[in-house]
Chains A and B, each alone.
Chain A
Amino acid sequence: MKSWQFDSEFTSRLSERLHREYRLFGPLTGKDGVCRLALLSREDALPEAKLPFIPLKKMLLPPRETLWTGDNLRCESPSDELPYALVGIPPCDLYALEYLDRVFQDDALYLQRRENLMVVGGGCASSQACFRPDTSKRPSFDLFLGDEYVWTGSSEGEKLLSELAGCKRTEEDVPFPETMGEGTDMPGVEDLEGLFNRSSDWELWQRVAERCLSCGACSAVCPTCYCYDVVDEALPGREVVRRREWDNCFFRSHALVAGGHNFRPGRKERLRFRFEHKMLGFGALRGVPSCVGCGRCNTACPVDSDISKVLAALVEEDAS
C-alpha cells in the first residue's frame, strides 16, 4: 500500500481520467433520500464514500444474470461488458468485495467483470446502524481516496496515478487512516461455533423467529449474501436463456427438495441459517464471518431485528 499526496485539482483530473476509460458508478442520494449506486456523468463530482442501500454485489452479481443463451447443444456465454469503475466505496463494502472474490474465485462471469473493475474506496461517515466485526486486515482496493492523500492498493491503481498530474508519492508511506465508523463493536466470542450449536433449542431463537417476517430484506441488502436460484426462460423463437437470480434463504422454497421435504421449514431454522452464514461462514470459508458490519440489515428490517444484538444476547445467555 503506497501513499500519494495530491493537490486541489487532482480529484477532477482523476474523475476525467476514469471517465475516459470506464463507466463510473458511485453512491448518489436521490430526492427520495435513498442512496444508490448510480451511473455517474462527467459533470458529477466524484462522490464521497457512502453506503448505498443496495450494495455493490449488484454490479458483480446482478439480480438477474444471463448464464448462457442458446440450447443444450450450442450455448453462448454473454459477451464482454464495458469495463467499469466503482467510486466512493466505503470500507465495509470493500471487505465485502474481498469476500465475494473468494466465493466466486472460479466463476467465469464474475471474473470477467472483476478483472476489468477499478475500485476507488473512501473513508465512511459513521452511521448509527453499523457495528464492526474484527477487521484487523486492511481492505483491498485499487485506490483509496482520503482528504489529502490517496493510497494505492494494486498495480493498476499505481499505474493510473503515475500517469496523472497533481499527485506524487510521499517520501514515507503515510499510515492508512482508521476507516471504520464509530459503530458499536461486535461482541467477541471465543468459540462461536460451539455456542451456535449449543444454542439450537434455546428459547432466544424462538423469540427472534416469532418476530421475524421471513421477508428476506436483510439478505437482499446484505453485501455478502450471494445465494442464487437458476431459472430458465424460453424466448420467442427457439432460443432459451438460463439465468441465475438472487435467491433468499428466508424463503420457504430455499431448502425444499423434490418430493416436498423441506430441510428448513420454519422461520427459526431459516433465521439460524442466515446467522450461521453471516457469523461463521460456509464451506472453505468456515470461520471467516461474512458479516462486514455495514448495518444495512438493521436499517432494512421491518421488525427491528439486529443480528449484532442476537449475538450479544447469545453471549449473555451463555454466561448466565
Chain B
Amino acid sequence: MSIDFKPMPAEIENIDRTVEDNHLFRFRLDKAMPTEPGQFAELSLAGIGAFPVSSAAWDGDERTFHACIRRTGRVTDALYGFSEGDRVGIRGPFGNGFPLESFAGRNVLLMAGGLGMAPLRSLLHYLLHQRNRKGEITLLYGSREPSSLLFRHELEVLAKQKRIRLRFSVDFATELPWSEGGAVCKVGLVPELLEDVGDPEPHTVAAVCGPPVLYACVLEELAQLGIDPDAVFANLERRMKCGVGQCCHCVTGGTYLCTQGPVFSLSELRAMPGAI
C-alpha cells in the first residue's frame, strides 16, 4: 500500500487530568486502527504539527486509541488547549510492538521510569486480559514524586486484588515510605526496587520503558540476574517524524526504530551501538 501521510480523523472522547501536565487522552477513531502494546501513532493537530506517541492502554477496541501525553513542547502545549469533542488527526499504527507470544505463560517483570509507564500499561492491560494466564506479573515503577505517579489508583487496585506485585519509587518525597493498598513506595531509583522483589526466576520475561538513563543502568543488570537477553525487551523512543522508515530522525545503530522497532530485545540492542 502506498503512503500518503493523510491522517485519519479522530475525536477526543475523554481526557483524564489526574496528573498535571501528563493527561491521559482517549481518542475515538473514525475507522479501526488495531494497535498492539508497544506500537505508536502520529497524532496530528492540523496547522500546528504532529508528534509520535505510544499506545497507553489496550482494551481490544480497534476504534479507540489511548495516549498519555506530556505537555512538553509546542504541539503538546497546543493539544492541552483542546477539550472533549474536539477533532484531531491520527496516523498509525507504527512499529513492531512487544512480541506478545514471548510473554505467554511466563513470569513477567515490568520496569518503568516516568512516562515510560504509558506503553507498559498497554502491555499490562493485554497481559491481564489473557484468560487463565499463568505466571506472576511484577511492576516496578519509578517517578519523580508521588504526585507524578501515573495511573496510581488503577495500579494500586490491581495490587490490592493481587493481580500484580507492585513497587513504586520516587526521587523526592516529604512523607515516605508509605505502604497502603498493597503498594509499597520508597525513595530512590527504579533499579533499587529490584532488590526488594528478589531474584527473578530464570524463565522471566522483562519489559523496560523509560528515559535513556534507565536503559543504561538496568538492561544489563537484568541479564546478570539471569534473565535471557532474548527475553529482556526495551521500548526506544525518538522523535519519529514519518513513522515509515524515511525521515531518518529515529535511526539508531543503522536501524529505523519506527519500522524495525521501537521494541528490541537486549540481544538486539547489544548489536546496535548507541542504542543504550
Contact = CB atoms under 8 A, between A and B. Distances in A.
Interface in A70-108: 70-73, 75, 77, 103-104, 106-108
Contact of A242 (B46, B246, B247, B255): B46
B75 to A, nearest CB: 9
B1 A261 contact: no
B49 A232 contact: yes
A306 B3 CA distance: 36
A103 B244 CA distance: 10
A230 B254 contact: no
Contacts of A72: 7, 9-10, 44-46, 87-89
A106 B6 CA distance: 14
B125 interface: no
A247 B247 contact: yes
Contact of B4 (A77, A230, A234, A261): A77
Contacts of B48: 232, 234
Contact of B246 (A75, A77, A103, A233): A103
B5 A68 contact: yes
A197 interface: yes
B241 A104 contact: no
B254 A228 contact: no
A226 interface: yes
A200 interface: yes
A78 to B, nearest CB: 10
Nearest to B48: A232
Interface in B35-71: 44-51, 70
A200 B254 CA distance: 14
Interface stretch (A149-157, A278-286, A308-316): A278-286
Contacts of B51: 258
A306 to B, nearest CB: 22
B252 A283 contact: no
Interface in A216-260: 226-234, 240, 242, 244, 247, 249, 254-259
A258 B239 contact: yes
B68 to A, nearest CB: 13
A283 B88 CA distance: 31
A165 interface: no
Contacts, number: 128
Contacts of B198: none
Most-contacted residue by chain A among B4, B50, B252 (CB, 10 A): B4
B273 to A, nearest CB: 5
A73 B45 CA distance: 11
Interface string A182-203: 0000000000000001001000
Nearest to A109: B4
A286 B260 CA distance: 12
Contact of B9 (A73, A229, A269): A73
B2 A283 contact: no
Given A72-B88, A104-B246, A261-B212, A240 B49 contact: no
A313 B258 CA distance: 33
Contacts of B70: 258-259
B2 A75 contact: no
B3 A107 contact: yes
A282 B252 CA distance: 9
Contact of B249 (A233, A234, A254, A280): A254
Interface string A103-124: 1101111010000000000000
Contact of A257 (B1, B7, B237, B245): B237
Given A261-B212, A282-B254, A227 B47 contact: no
Contacts of A249: 248
Given A70-B46, A73-B87, A230-B242, A258 B76 contact: yes
Contacts of A111: 2
B224 interface: no
A70 B1 CA distance: 22
Contacts of A263: 212, 238, 252, 274
Contacts of A228: 241-242, 246-247
A282 B255 contact: yes
A242 B6 CA distance: 9
Closest 5 CB pairs of A and B: A72-B89, A240-B47, A227-B248, A234-B47, A108-B2
22 contacts: A68-B6, A73-B87, A75-B6, A77-B6, A109-B4, A226-B246, A228-B241, A228-B246, A228-B247, A229-B241, A230-B247, A232-B45, A242-B44, A255-B238, A258-B51, A258-B73, A259-B72, A277-B251, A283-B254, A283-B255, A283-B260, A284-B245
Given A71-B47, A75-B89, A108-B4, 10 more contacts: A75-B7, A111-B2, A226-B246, A232-B46, A233-B47, A247-B248, A257-B237, A258-B70, A282-B255, A283-B260
